[in-house]
Amino acid sequence: MTGPRYTRLAETLPSDVPFVGPEVQERRMGRPFRARLGANESVFGPSPKAIEALHAAAPDVWMYADATSHALKQALAAEMGARPENIVIGGGIDGLLGNLVRLLVEPGDPVVTSKGAYPTFNYHVTGFGGMLHKVPFRDDREDLPALIDRARETRAKLIYLSNPDNPMGSWYAGREIEAALDTLPEGTLLLLDEAYIEFAPEGTAPRIDPDDPRVIRMRTFSKARGMAGLRVGYATGAPALIRAFDKVRDHFGMTRPAQAAALAALQDAGWLAQVQDAVAASRDRIGRIGRAHGLTPLPSATNFVALDCGGDGAHAKAVLDALVARGVFVRMPFEAPQNRCIRVSCGRPADLDVFEEVLPLALADVKAAAAG
């Protein structure tokens, strides 16, 4: 008895997980983290109106959700200055990335991203056999002109740009992206990942006609809206591209409570403003805590701060491991030179109290190990 016959592509793929989640680490350690500051979740939670909507939706989960997400699309169209035809809803940006890559990328097709940018995008490109071309960050920022040049050289079908950027927290002004659009090679789609846009300064979001066929922008309810565990993302783009998602998406794949909660969250601008304020205050405090112990915070337009540990990747990894061992869940960039930093998500005052308590102990652990 033999097993199934996989595709040639599937045979080549690793059974990798892009990220190891905090629950897996907690089971390995045998105890829970004291502060969960590693996944850029919003510890501040969702709008109370979204939580109400979840409670209200609980008895209705026997029904499949509306496969067209009609009500949510209407609300997002208003939010984005677009029409419902410009919008597709999916299982977080991750799910939408998978759909988009499947629509565009076949084995050998070139795709451009930054070295050290979002690994789940790379996972999807590799998963469909695409050829990734990686451009180094410049001054801790994704290098937009170089990405476009590389796309021209390689005839890439797709460029990935996150603005603001994960894992460094850097950003472009919207007008710089608007100007760059006119330098895009013909037939290259710019994928603009705006997962963190709600935390960025005014003017960071470019003004782009939603019907512009050169760009697709993706946003999420996982970050500022505090609903990572509900998997709601959305993309805006030209109607022909948006319609194409219907060729490959899992039409009945959205959960009913998630759609209800997203709709309710959109109607609570006050909560969003509170979270934005709390995140700004938290960023400042993470910076102060880092500086107090010799780390250098990078400017951030997101809900996390990259702290330069002042050494190489191995040093930052030692700091990270020491923090994790002492119960603080944080992550760090994968690639040099960004991996001289650790990445700390914003938290409530109590979470940052733990970070403030543990950081000097972790740094002392690292120093002792180096001396020992």
Q: Which is nearer to a copy of itself, 10 or 78 (CB)?
A: 10
CB of 60 to a copy of itself, least distance (A): 7
Q: 75-103 burial, b for 16+ CB within 10 Å, e for fewer?
A: bbbeebebbbbbbbbbbbbbbbbbbbbbb
Q: Is 264 helix (H, G, I), strand (E, B) or coil?
A: helix
Q: Which is nearer to a copy of itself, 258 or 362 (CB)?
A: 258
- Paired with 190 in beta bridges are 159, 215
CB of 243 to a copy of itself, least distance (A): 5
Q: Which is nearer to a copy of itself, 49 or 141 (CB)?
A: 49
> Looking at 57-65, 142-150, 291-299, 363-371, which segment touches a copy of itself (CB under 8 A)?
57-65
Q: Which is nearer to a copy of itself, 209 or 284 (CB)?
A: 209
> Looking at 33-41, 81-89, 297-305, 316-324, which segment touches a copy of itself (CB under 8 A)?
33-41
- Sign (positive/negative) of CA torsion 222, 164, 285, 277? negative
Interaction between residue 109 and a copy of itself (CB under 8 A) = yes
Interaction between residue 63 and a copy of itself (CB under 8 A) = yes
> Looking at 74-82, 136-144, 220-228, 312-320, which segment touches a copy of itself (CB under 8 A)?
220-228
- Sign (positive/negative) of CA torsion 39, 305, 121, 317? negative
Q: Which is nearer to a copy of itself, 98 or 313 (CB)?
A: 98
Query: Could you say which residues in the range 150-209 bind a copy of itself, by CB under 8 A?
Result: 157-158, 186-187, 189
Interaction between residue 142 and a copy of itself (CB under 8 A) = no
- The residue count for the chain: 372
Q: How far apart are CA 233 and CA 191, in angstroms?
A: 14
CB of 234 to a copy of itself, least distance (A): 16
Q: Which is nearer to a copy of itself, 187 or 294 (CB)?
A: 187
Interaction between residue 32 and a copy of itself (CB under 8 A) = no
Nearest to 205 by CA among 171, 233, 159: 171
DSSP 241: H
Interaction between residue 334 and a copy of itself (CB under 8 A) = no
Member of 238, 301, 344, 359 binding a copy of itself (CB under 8 A): 238
Interaction between residue 254 and a copy of itself (CB under 8 A) = yes
Query: Could you say which residues in the range 37-56 bind a copy of itself, by CB under 8 A?
Result: 39, 41-46, 50-51, 54-55
Interaction between residue 288 and a copy of itself (CB under 8 A) = no
Member of 33, 82, 94, 328 binding a copy of itself (CB under 8 A): 94
Structure tokens at 95: 């799910």
Q: Which is nearer to a copy of itself, 215 or 316 (CB)?
A: 215
Member of 34, 49, 102, 115 binding a copy of itself (CB under 8 A): 102
Lay out the site mask for a copy of itself across 200-219 (x = CB under 8 A, - = otherwise). Answer: ------------xxx-----
Q: What is the CA radius of gyration of the chain?
A: 21
Interaction between residue 227 and a copy of itself (CB under 8 A) = yes
Q: Is 193 helix (H, G, I), strand (E, B) or coil?
A: strand
Q: Which is nearer to a copy of itself, 102 or 315 (CB)?
A: 102
Q: Is 332 helix (H, G, I), strand (E, B) or coil?
A: coil
CB of 333 to a copy of itself, least distance (A): 19
Interaction between residue 241 and a copy of itself (CB under 8 A) = yes
Nearest to 193 by CA among 165, 231, 168: 165
Instruction: Find out whether 212 and 181 touch, Cβ atoms under 8 Å.
Output: yes
Q: How far is CA 27 from CA 32, 38, 49, 119, 331, in A?
A: 8, 16, 33, 24, 17
Residue owning tokens 């733990």 = 354
Q: How far apart are CA 240 and CA 293, in angstroms?
A: 53
Instruction: Find out whether 170 and 164 touch, Cβ atoms under 8 Å.
Output: yes
Q: How far apart are CA 229 and CA 46, in angstroms?
A: 11
Q: How far apart are CA 263 and CA 269, in angstroms?
A: 12
Q: How far apart are CA 231 and CA 37, in angstroms?
A: 19
Give the number of residues in contact with a copy of itself, rule: CB under 8 A: 91
